[in-house]
Chains A and B, each alone.
Chain A
Amino acid sequence: MISSYTLTVLTLMGIWSVAALGLNVITGYAGQFNLGIGVYMGTGAYATAILTTQAGVNFWLALPCALLISAAMGFLTGLPALRVREDALAVFTIGLVFVFESLLIYLPYFGGPVGIGRIPYVGINGSQLSKEGYLALVLVALGAVVAATIYLRRAWMGLAWASIRENELATNTIGIHSARFKLYAFTIGATFAGLAGVLYAHFIHYVTPYDFGFLPSIYILVMIVFGGLGTIRGAIFGACFLTLMPELFRFIQDYRNLIYGAMLVGLMLFEPNGVLGDESYVWRLILSAQQRLNEWLNRVSKSRRAYSISAAATNEIRHKTPNSIKPASRKILETRNLTRRFGGLVAVNDVNLEVFSQEILGIIGPNGAGKTTFFNLLSGTIPCTSGEIRLNSEPIHRLSPHLIAQRGIGRTFQIVRPFSQLSVLDNVLAGISARYCKGFADSLRQYRNSSDQDEAHLILEQTGLLAHKNEVSRNLPLGLLRRLEIARALGLRPNLILLDESFSGLSHRESQSLIDLVRMLRENGATIMLIEHNMQVTMKICDRIAVLNYGNKIAEGMPEDIRNHPTVIAAYLGSAHHA
């Protein structure tokens, strides 16, 4: 027989776990700082409180309504939150929770500062649920939330969230609309937190505005960071431990806050990944133990078969790649009078350029010539001031980056922007995900066991990364990261690939193999534009070269023509003099 005190603590642990998992979706998965999760928990709690007390609605009807209202709250507060990021978002969410709290106090219908009391017990078929029954209900809810979280993490949506968390700009350039997925994260996280609020309201039978204010929100954030941000086990462990801790330390109850604060500082100093985070000491211990166990099991049973791509799949995928868009020398991209000003500075001035299919076009120029800005305009990461860009004769310069990417322009970055915490394979899968991330329902499909795995493996094979597929990309050397960015862009099945100084910082051998890769991509039907400083590489690899200087296109032509072009030589010598 468990005492009802123990039941109380267990139930609270379950409720806080649900809330923590809600915040985990927003902050852990999608990487959006949110210090105001109390808003959503409070929305759920107040919704069910009002529905069951003032409207006299049954709990089982109030529950879905409250969840819907919380979801709507997540969506509505997510909209303005899209305008800010990182620290500003953090402070903005603090603002939300304070405003929410005062609205509850000030507006009528919410019971003012004393809140709403006499929230009924939950009943099934008219009989009141016992304390054990309520704990069971909370555990069922927790199970459902865990299952939903696992499902989401393994869906394309989860991959999109991870991409946004790791690098939002890069996410847009692989065709994922980051704003939309941030909104999904807010909405889903808010629903989970709202569920926690409903469970809290029917457990304490009393809600006040202060239950869901700033400090409770912070406590929930602390739970997920404490346990390990972005992991289910971490969120649950954090919630349970930090609910249990004040009870365990009750014998020194006068010092509990001090211990709590000191523990946070200490943990952040010595184990910033959280107790059970992916990189934490404890978790690595567990993983290595697991690995040893697996090795032992493997020795006992037969070793596992390595992943292999079926021949049929290979053919099918090859068929899908733009190989078929021959003949060559069709014009695929065109810029007309393309201009971009930053204040008084004209970074790109009146540039007209045509790009033909399956060519390798080099963009060169001294430092500050506007080459990267030019790429940024083509990929839509910054808007142009005037002029236009046409892809296959359609104007694309008004489109946002993810739409441009979806039309088949992939790119890499001068300073690499891989999704550092994801494995190499997941980076490539993220590149593929754009085609599933156009609608809500599609993005819920699972990515682990799909034919897209075959495509990803094929891309890895092409780019020579197959051997590294399970490595976390943060640990790769620069040469492989540059390849990884190309591999990720290939996930789009692009017609045009923009390579921004992909050769810089590479050894001779690495350059050589990258040149082979670029050539092979062209053979497979892609068109390539590349910015390069290394003249040797440029001359060797490019079919044509365009030269930019101070934002102007000063020359265009075959490599040997450019080599001897007087204006180009003057520009380079000039810049050499300046430098």
Chain B
Amino acid sequence: MCLRCAMAYLDLPTGDDRSVGPSSDGMTRRIFNTGLLAAGLTASSRAFGASSETIKIGTFGPFTGPAAGLGLEAKKGIEFAVQQYNAKGGIGGTKIELVAYDDRANRAEAVSVVRKMIESDGVQVIVDGSVSLTSIAAAPVANDAKIPMIAAYSNAVGVVKGEDHVFRWASVADVQGYVIAHHAMRERKYKNFALLMQDEEYGRGIINGAEKAIDALKGKVVYKKPYAPGEREFRAIMTEIKGLNVDSVIMSGFSPSLTSAARIGYELEIFPKAQFYISCSATEINWYNGIGQYGNGTIASLEFLASADHPFTKKFVADYTKATGEKVVSHQAGLMYDSSRLAFDAIQRGGTTADGIWHALKETKSFMNLSGVDVKFTELREPLLPIALAAWDSSSQQYKLVKFETDPALIDPRPWYKYYN
């Protein structure tokens, strides 16, 4: 079965003929032998249906290359969702067939694979498991083909803006910074802030949100420093911050940077004297693997909370860890799981055609996420996602809820659109 799938990919004869490609010896043979293993992995999910009624769902993301950590987690999220629904007999009897392609976080490749899954595979809906910059390039392709696409964890506004068929299940980055700064000043009464900004759209957005709130509530930014994505060396910056006696440090960025900064900050004894706030990448695997004994009390702004006290959440976490063997539900896996469910829900309501799914998605008024919160949708094809502020507990190695921020005045993504063109 797997061999057939592999052959079908290459348009090679799948019968019982002995020869594989032009030469069946040496290199080709070996590539094919290794290939079969891998084909088994990627194609197994494709192999479900093919019998009765199935619907094809596409996903893409960086499964290899430097960003593979994100894409593979996203893939786990959607694979688990597919497995869960198919085990229950599919969506109203229709089995789901997943088509997953690697884009290596490369824009040109993302464009190719999205076209491929639309035309060669005939997917009816795409759940995008890739990073923002790749999604931005892929979104117009799906939009032009009128295939609805849901971006799971792309915070960049450019993904959905102006693309009628593109939806998203993530917040605008600025919202997180806005919520963090409000919490710090209203509830903790902090006045002096140091801001560490990862210098790309996601990181800039969070710090922009925080600055707007600090401005409005008459706080003071004592120190602000941008850093390049991927940075792990925060010694010099933290040494500087140490001399400033700030109340709180707000940092945006991806998990390797957050983790390294937290470690060095605790080592230099800046934290927990000052409160450390970090952005949603805090639930990426790298944080869990890298933080070690440090980081206790660090507050993260999260788009869902796996430790939430809702029966749905508890069941999901139990099932997910059992099915995948993972100890934690990562940021990408969680958002991807919710996005997939949103897609399935739309299929349930709108039928198995792209057009039906699109109409159903457009008509979605609210949808319950995995933390058990009913999330409202805006006319901008994205949710009013509540932000969970959660503190890291280093003894249990998980985040504990501090506050669910559901105030529409704070979590509405729409006011932030003006910062993006």
Contacts and interface: CB of A to CB of B under 8 A. Distances in A.
On whether A and B touch (CB less than 8 Å), the answer reads yes
Interface residues of A, number: 35
A117 B158 contact: yes
Interface stretch (B3-11, B236-244, B277-285): B3-11
B112 interface: yes
B279 to A, nearest CB: 16
Interface string B152-177: 00001010001000000000000000
Nearest to B117: A5
B112 A247 contact: yes
B114 to A, nearest CB: 9
A250 B107 contact: no
Nearest to B203: A113
Interface string A1-32: 00111001100100000000000000000000
Interface string B77-112: 000000000000000000000000110100111011
Interface stretch (A205-213, A371-379, A387-395): A205-213
Interface stretch (A185-193, A251-259, A537-545, A567-575): A251-259
B232 interface: no
B42 A5 contact: no
Contacts of A204: 107-108, 111, 137
B43 A114 contact: no
A517 interface: no
Contact of B120 (A5, A113, A200, A251): A5
Interface string A241-269: 00000111111111111010000000000
B102 A256 contact: yes
Contacts of B201: 112-114
Contact of B112 (A12, A112, A113, A248): A12
A65 interface: no
Contacts of B228: 102
Interface string B119-156: 11000000000001100110010000000000000001
Interface in B39-60: 39, 41-43
A146 interface: no
B376 interface: no
A106 B9 CA distance: 42
Contacts of B204: 112
B311 interface: no
Given A3-B119, A210-B133, A253 B112 contact: no
A106 B41 CA distance: 41
Contacts of A102: 228
Contacts of B107: 204, 206, 208, 211
A382 interface: no
B198 to A, nearest CB: 9
A400 B156 CA distance: 56
B64 A257 contact: yes
A105 interface: yes
A105 B133 CA distance: 13
B38 interface: yes
B136 A114 contact: yes
A115 interface: yes
B115 A5 contact: yes
A8 B114 CA distance: 10
B391 to A, nearest CB: 30
Nearest to B107: A204
B38 A253 contact: yes
A306 B63 CA distance: 61
B403 interface: no
Given A112-B201, A113-B201, A208-B107, A254 B38 contact: yes
A400 B228 CA distance: 45
A250 B31 contact: no
B199 interface: yes
B19 interface: no
A4 B119 contact: yes
Given A4-B115, A113-B199, 5 more contacts: A112-B201, A113-B229, A246-B104, A249-B31, A252-B6
Interface of A: 3-5, 8-9, 12, 102, 105-106, 112-115, 117-118, 200, 204-206, 208, 210-211, 246-257, 259
26 contacts: A3-B119, A5-B120, A8-B111, A9-B112, A112-B199, A112-B204, A113-B133, A114-B136, A117-B136, A204-B108, A204-B137, A206-B107, A208-B107, A211-B107, A249-B31, A251-B6, A251-B39, A251-B43, A252-B39, A253-B42, A254-B42, A255-B38, A256-B64, A257-B64, A257-B65, A259-B31
* Shortest beta-carbon contacts, A-B, top 10: A113-B200, A252-B35, A251-B9, A252-B38, A253-B102, A5-B115, A5-B116, A251-B6, A3-B119, A114-B201
